[in-house]
Chains A and B, each alone.
Chain A
Amino acid sequence: MHLARTGLALALLLGVAAHAAAQTASDGASSVTGPISGYMDSHYNQPSDGDPILDFHRFVLIFSHTFTERIRFVAELELEHAIVEGLEEKGAVELEQAYLDFLLTRGFNLRAGMLLVPMGIINERHEPPVFQGVERPLVDTFIIPTTWFEAGAGVHGELGRGLRYRAYVMAPLDSAEFSADEGIRPGRQEGSESNVRHAAVAARAEYVGVTGLTLGASAWRGNSSVTLRRLDTPVTIGEVDARYKRDRLELRGEFAQVSIGDAAALNDAVQLSTGVSPNVAEALRGFYGEAAYRVWNAGPARDLVGFVRYENFDTQFRMPAGLLPLKQFDRDAWVFGATYYPDPDVAVKIDYVIQRNQSSIVKAPSSFNVGLGWWF
């Protein structure tokens, strides 16, 4: 019933948008298909507990088309780990974005299709030259499951004085897939015949009114009992972040917490069907702080940035009654490294990750990494 109402509201909104956009289609812009853009990300990873690997991690192509001044299409198609083979744990082809924008006013625009969940620093801003480190931050992997994309629709705009927002209705997570190690990450439905028996809402507000400063706050909430229909598993995610850049220095910080309602019943239900309890927590938490300094600041080809980042993330932060946390998933990490930019769109990265956990039995691996990423 709720979903039907939501769907009706969205259909009405999009109808109004299409009508409004059509009325202003004579703004002068004719249909234009943009040049193909994209980014690539290739890594060498040497973990302390295994063989080194070379991985062409991401090959991403971005397509765009302008129907009119106010109706625009953007798509982001990604090939992960270079090869896709049936039934094997190899790469993946992912449609990370494919949406239509109906640009109405500065403060109110509509978007529908495959959307990036507006959450955190990295999920919507993940091109290799814009973040430090060969791999994305661990908090943005284990607590906020980037790249997190889902089918949905919603609104976005700027309210003036540097305050902007986006709010979407999207397909929810599937709690039956949650795990102790990766938290909610395996529960992403990724717009592939996503079950929308329940709908989720995602919203983000950003303040960008001062040069160099970005403040953000995001929230996501949805009933995630999709496969396990008898359960009621509301999931709530709250997140705040900040970025500040001045002269040669850039600072970043992010805090995120996930709350999984009735996790005890979820663990029981999964154990009943698979024979093993997934040991899913009722709360996951992570935060990080990063400082980066431009050692050379003379523009191409003398741009070198050194950085250090501390991350703390626990996918077993608070357990439901009767379950003990697995201490190897209470982790933290120091990441040290540098990025050399022979061009602002080309990043040669090197870093060392010292990862630790609270377990006295299972050791967390450290790793030495080298990466090459570029945007075009």
Chain B
Amino acid sequence: MFSKMTGMRVRTQLLIALASIVCLTIASDRLASQTRRVVRVTAERFTFTPSEIVVEAGEEVELRLKSDDTSHGFRIAGTTVNVTIPKRGRDDLSIVFRAPAAGRYTFECTHMCGAGHNFMRGMLVVRDRTDR
């Protein structure tokens, strides 16, 4: 009888712990996406829109990249960000990174996408948090 009660209690405690973990994970995800800066970028021959992205040093940034035609590359010089944006109609690409030190970082298409490929560039402007 005693061992049956103990077993039930352990199972209940385990369930509560599991539920707490799930709740915490969801909450932290929501919190993260609330505090994370989300920027949507559309790529199309031969522009990124927007072509200038302004963030703060050290903040977490989520880029949601989408192509309106062929596949494009997306590389931010001086960072580790270097990805391929899938063609139109395929899934959008989401990348999360921490903004580097204050400065100006060129981003560009790295897949030859047509006659004006070298025009396909933009600027990530990272501001110091004290610059506000």
Name A residues whose Cβ lies closer than 8 Å to a Cβ of B: 27, 34-35, 37, 39, 62, 64, 69, 72, 74, 76, 96-97, 101, 103, 106, 116, 124-127, 129-130, 156, 158, 160-162, 164, 208-212, 214, 245, 298-300, 303, 343-345, 375
CB–CB B106/A344 < 8 A: no
CB–CB B89/A303 < 8 A: yes
Q: List 16 A-B contacts (CB under 8 A).
A: A37-B113, A72-B118, A97-B115, A106-B106, A116-B115, A125-B116, A130-B114, A160-B52, A162-B51, A208-B49, A212-B49, A298-B89, A299-B89, A343-B87, A344-B69, A345-B70
Q: Could you mark each residue 63-84 of chain B with 1 if its beta carbon is under 8 Å from any beta carbon of chain A, else 0?
A: 0000111100000010000000
**Complex: chain A residue closest to B91, CB-CB:** A299
CB–CB A211/B42 < 8 A: yes
CB–CB B121/A106 < 8 A: yes
**Complex: chain B residue closest to A66, CB-CB:** B110
| Alpha-carbon gap, A288 to B118, bound state (A) | 28
CB–CB B51/A74 < 8 A: no
| Alpha-carbon gap, A209 to B115, bound state (A) | 21
Interface of B is mostly: loop
Do A64 and B115 form a contact, CB below 8 Å, given A106-B106, A208-B47? no
Do A126 and B87 form a contact, CB below 8 Å, given A106-B123, A344-B69? no
Do A69 and B121 form a contact, CB below 8 Å, given A34-B112, A35-B112? no
Q: Could you mark each residue 108-127 of chain B with 1 if its beta carbon is under 8 Å from any beta carbon of chain A, else 0?
A: 00001111111101110000
CB–CB A130/B45 < 8 A: yes
| Alpha-carbon gap, A161 to B50, bound state (A) | 9
CB–CB B87/A69 < 8 A: no
CB–CB B119/A130 < 8 A: no
**Complex: chain A residue closest to B88, CB-CB:** A344
| Alpha-carbon gap, A113 to B114, bound state (A) | 17
| Alpha-carbon gap, A254 to B101, bound state (A) | 44
Residues of A within 8 A of B123 (CB): 106, 158
Residues of B within 8 A of A160 (CB): 52
Do A208 and B45 form a contact, CB below 8 Å, given A97-B115, A344-B69? no
Do A164 and B119 form a contact, CB below 8 Å, given A106-B106, A211-B49, A300-B87? yes
Those 5 A-B pairs whose CB atoms lie nearest each other, nearest first: A299-B89, A37-B112, A344-B87, A344-B88, A211-B49
Do A127 and B119 form a contact, CB below 8 Å, given A299-B89, A300-B89? no
| Alpha-carbon gap, A49 to B60, bound state (A) | 65
Residues of A within 8 A of B42 (CB): 211
Q: Out of B45, B49, B52, which one reaches A127, CB within 8 Å?
A: B45
Residues of B within 8 A of A72 (CB): 118
